[in-house]
């Protein structure tokens, strides 16, 4: 289970867990029919988390005002570093060297028989800390399926968008869906029957100065391969403009270049 990107937008709240975009490789698509229901045995095999496991990704990010987009390339190495106690729970620590081109960060996950729970990141943000922990995967994985991860209102946004000296309040809703299996090709190779996951977060930001609320969306599509974990994700984040600012958009992709299993 390498760094599992979460739909909590750094564009909106400077979260280091999610971020940015990347070069896309060819995808050969073979999705399951919508009416089929398939339960995946040994679901945990898609999220390896043994200490010493290492993933190397290459990435691209496009971000800026909706009318002006800046493209950047970056590299990120994700590695399972160990475990630690967090709020009385033992969590697995994943260290990322440069997720989404935003510098080093640690992310914390707990995997058990019923799925994977995300416990946040370091450095985190005020918004993220109000939402975690929440579940990101349920075992056994069933395709198709979906569930709501969180639905929280009147949280501290941690930012003063309208520049009136008061941080805004925000309502956030998050959900995730297992939508199918596909054969996907990235620089590290071709992976048949990768599980395709779509996560969506919507934000309604209530400006303290009054006026129309700002709207934010974060939609992420990720592919996980058995025995390897995350091989690719693509994320699009949008934030509508305030009275003084144009809207913001960020697109992020990371693709696996090299996978090193634990010894």
Q: Kindly report, residue by residue over 119-153, the tens digit of the pLDDT.
A: 999 998 889 999 999 999 999 999 999 999 999 99
User: What is the rounded CA–CA span in Å between residue 170 and residue 32?
Assistant: 36
Is 178 a domain residue?
yes
Is 164 a domain residue?
yes
Q: What is the pLDDT of residue 15?
A: 27
Helices (H) and strands (E) in the chain, counts: 2, 15
Is 74 a domain residue?
yes
Phi and psi at 244, nearest 5°, equal -105, -15
* pLDDT tier, 35 (very low <50, low <70, confident <90, very high otherwise): low
Rg (CA), the chain: 18
Judged by phi (left if over 0) then psi (alpha if -120 to 50, else beta), residue 228 lies in alpha
Is 51 a domain residue?
yes
Number of domains in the chain: 1
Is 5 a domain residue?
no
Output the CA torsion 184→197→214→157 (10° steps): -120
Count Cα atoms within 13 angstroms, Cβ side, for 194: 25
Q: What is the pLDDT of residue 67?
A: 61
Cβ-based neighbours of 112, under 8 Å, separated by 6 or more: none
Give the chain's length. 263
Evaluate if residue 13 carries a pLDDT over 60. no
Q: What is the pLDDT of residue 27?
A: 25
| Residue matched to tokens 């056994």 | 140
Q: What is the pLDDT of residue 234?
A: 95
Check the CA dihedral 65-74-31-196 and report its sign.
negative
Q: What is the pLDDT of residue 72?
A: 92
Q: What is the pLDDT of residue 68?
A: 63
* Choice among 21-25, 156-160, 219-223 with the minimum mean pLDDT: 21-25
- Which tops the pLDDT comparison, 30 or 122? 122
Each residue of 44-81: pLDDT tens digit?
A: 999 999 999 999 999 999 988 766 677 899 999 999 99
pTM, entire model:
0.84
Q: What is the pLDDT of residue 26?
A: 25
Evaluate if residue 100 carries a pLDDT over 50. yes
Q: What is the mean pLDDT of the chain?
A: 85
Each residue of 226-254: pLDDT tens digit?
A: 999 999 999 999 988 655 556 788 999 99
Q: What is the pLDDT of residue 233?
A: 95
Is 129 a domain residue?
yes
Percent of the chain exceeding pLDDT 90 equals: 69
Domain holding 190, by residue range, is 10-260
* pLDDT tier, 163 (very low <50, low <70, confident <90, very high otherwise): confident
H helix or E strand, kind and range, residue 13: helix 10-13
CB 77 within 8 A of CB 54: yes
| Average pLDDT of span 191-220 | 93
Burial class (CB in 10 A: 0-12, 13-18, 19+), 47: buried
* pLDDT tier, 22 (very low <50, low <70, confident <90, very high otherwise): very low
Is 3 a domain residue?
no
CB 172 within 8 A of CB 202: yes
Is 136 a domain residue?
yes
CB 4 within 8 A of CB 232: no
Output the CA torsion 191→121→62→147 (10° steps): 60
């Amino acid at each position: 289970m390498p760094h599992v990107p979460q739909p909590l937008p750094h564009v909106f709240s400077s979260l280091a867990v999610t971020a940015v975009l990347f070069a896309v490789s060819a995808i050969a698509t073979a999705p399951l029919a919508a009416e089929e229901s398939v339960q995946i045995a040994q679901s945990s095999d898609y999220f390896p988390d043994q200490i010493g496991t290492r993933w190397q990704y290459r990435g691209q990010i496009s971000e800026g005002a909706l009318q002006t987009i800046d493209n950047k390339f970056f590299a990120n190495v994700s590695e399972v570093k160990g475990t630690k106690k967090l709020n009385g729970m033992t969590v697995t620590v994943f260290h990322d060297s440069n997720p989404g081109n935003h510098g080093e960060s640690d992310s914390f996950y707990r995997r058990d028989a019923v799925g994977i729970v995300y416990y946040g990141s370091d450095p985190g943000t005020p918004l993220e800390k109000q939402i975690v922990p929440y579940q990101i995967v349920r075992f056994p994985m069933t395709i198709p399926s979906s569930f709501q991860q969180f639905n929280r209102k009147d949280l501290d946004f941690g930012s003063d968008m309208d520049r009136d000296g008061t941080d805004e309040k925000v309502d956030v809703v998050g959900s995730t869906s297992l939508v199918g299996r596909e054969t996907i090709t990235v620089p590290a190779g071709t992976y048949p029957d990768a599980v395709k996951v779509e996560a969506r977060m919507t934000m309604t930001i209530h400006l303290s100065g009054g006026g129309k609320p700002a709207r934010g969306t974060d939609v992420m599509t990720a592919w996980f391969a058995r025995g390897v974990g995350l091989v690719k994700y693509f994320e699009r984040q949008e934030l509508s403009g305030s009275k003084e600012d144009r809207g913001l958009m960020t697109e992020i992709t990371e693709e696996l270049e090299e996978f090193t299993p634990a010894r």
